[in-house]
Structure 1
Amino acid sequence: MTEIIKANSDEDKILTEITKRSKAYWGYSDKQIDEWSDLLTITSEYIQSNEVYKLVINQSAVAYYSYFEIENNSVRLDNLFVSPENIGKGFGKILMNDFILKIKQSKKSGIILDADPNAKKFYESFGFTKIGQIETSIKDRLLPIMEFQLDKIVDS
C-alpha cells in the first residue's frame, strides 16, 4: 500500500537518511555530503515547524517533501527527496502532484525553490521556470532558482 501522510517529528533520522542517500545518488562525493551535513539534516524541530509529508510503501518511508510559507502568498518547496533504490519509479512525480494539489487547494499564488542542477528538468516538466541562480560551495556549480505561478492555472 502506498500513501502520502504527514511526517512525525520522531522520523527525523529516516528523513535525513533519505536526504543524504538521495543526494549522494547524483554523484556527489562522501566528502561533499559530509560538508553539506548540516544542510541535509532534517531535525525534529524542522518537522514540527514546517509542512513535511512522506511517501510510505508497506509502512516504510521511501520519499518525502517539505515546504513552508513565504511572503507574497507563496510557499517555498524546501526538500523533495526519493530514496536511491526508488528513483525512477515515479515517486517523485507522485510527490510533486500531491504537493502542487495541496498548494493549489490552500489558495496560495506561487511556489519557489532552489533546484539541484540534476533536478532542473524534473521541475521544468511540472511547469516551473528558472528565474535566477545562486552560487554554491562547489566551484562553477549554480543552483537554479525556480518558480511556479498557481494563479496562472485555469480550472477547467
Structure 2
Amino acid sequence: MSDNRFILEKYLPTTSYFQQKKFDCGNKLINKFVHSSLKKQVSRHFSQAYVLLDVEENERFSAFYTLTSFKLQGNELEIISKGSLPRDIPCVRLVMLGVNISLQNKGLGRKLMSDALHRVHRASKEIGIYGLYLDADPNAIKFYLSLGFTRLDSGSLDDIGKMFLSIDTINSLLD
C-alpha cells in the first residue's frame, strides 16, 4: 500500500465525506459515533477530528480519530507518578479512533496515532499538557501498550482500559 493512496486531513463538519455513513470499523459504538455524532461534536467544538481518505476509492472516509482537552485527577496517575502531582492534571484525550475493517492490520492505526502524537507534542509547546489519555476498547489494549501507553487501572484484558502516555515519553519519541 503506497503512502500516496491516503490523505490525512482535518475533518470539516461542513464537508460531505464519501461513504462516511457506511463506515464500519467493526465496533458498533465507534460506527454509531461516526454515522450520527462526529459532525455535531466537531461543529460544536467539543473535539477536533482528523480523517484518512482513500484516494484510490474516490476519497472514501476510511479512518479517523478525535482529540479533545481533558483533565485527570492526580491520584489517577499514581501508578506512573515520580512525585507529588497537583489535583487536576491537564492532558489531551483521544476520544475515538477507527479504521475501516477492509483496511485493518495494514499499519493505518499506527499512522493515525503517529499523527495524533505529533499534534499533542506541538500543542504541549504552547500550553500545559501532561500527556495523552484514552479509554481503550478491550480489543485495542495490546495495540496501545505496544505504542508505549501505560494502563492506569487494574482491569482485565476484557475491560475498557484507562491508558496514558506521558508528554515526556511523547517528546522523547518525537524530538
Query: Would you say same fold, with TM above 0.5?
Result: yes
Maintained 8 Å contact 1:64/1:82? yes
Name whichever of 81-90 and 54-63 sits farther off. Answer: 54-63
Cα separation, 1, equivalents of 2:39 and 2:119: 22
Give, in angstroms, the shift of residue 151 of structure 1: 2.4
Identify the match of residue 102 of structure 2 among 77, 82, 85: 85
May I ask how many residue pairs the two structures share in their alignment?
A: 141
Maintained 8 Å contact 1:110/1:147? yes
Give the secondary structure class of the aligned counterpart of 1:56: strand
Identity of aligned residues (%): 23
Matched, 1:23 2:26: yes
Give, in angstroms, the shift of residue 141 of structure 1: 4.5
TM-score by length of 2: 0.69
| Larger of the two Rg values belongs to structure | 2
Identify the match of residue 53 of structure 2 among 42, 52, 56: 56
After superposition, the C-alpha distances for 1:111-145 in whole angstroms (9 at most, x for unaligned) are 1111011100110111101101679xxxx952111
Q: 1:45 to 1:142 in 2, by over 3 A?
A: same
After superposition, the C-alpha distances for 1:43-66 in whole angstroms (9 at most, x for unaligned) are 422122211000112122210000
Cα separation, 1, equivalents of 2:67 and 2:117: 11
Cα separation, 2, equivalents of 1:42 and 1:147: 25
Cα separation, 2, equivalents of 1:143 and 1:133: 10
Q: Which residue in the other structure is 2:117 paired with? A: 100
TM-score by length of 1: 0.76
Cα separation, 2, equivalents of 1:131 and 1:6: 30
Q: Which residue in the other structure is 1:75 paired with? A: 92
Give, in angstroms, the shift of residue 23 of structure 1: 2.9
Maintained 8 Å contact 1:15/1:42? no
Matched, 1:42 2:59: no
Identify the match of residue 144 of structure 2 among 123, 127, 148: 123
2:102 alignment partner AA: E
Cα separation, 2, equivalents of 1:85 and 1:133: 33
Give the secondary structure class of the aligned counterpart of 1:9: coil
Cα separation, 1, equivalents of 2:164 and 2:148: 9
Query: What are the ranges of 5 or more consecutive residues in structure 2 without an aligned counterpart?
Result: 72-88
Maintained 8 Å contact 2:50/2:64? yes
Q: RMSD between aligned alpha carbons?
A: 2.9
Q: Which residue in the other structure is 2:11 paired with? A: 7
Maintained 8 Å contact 2:13/2:40? yes
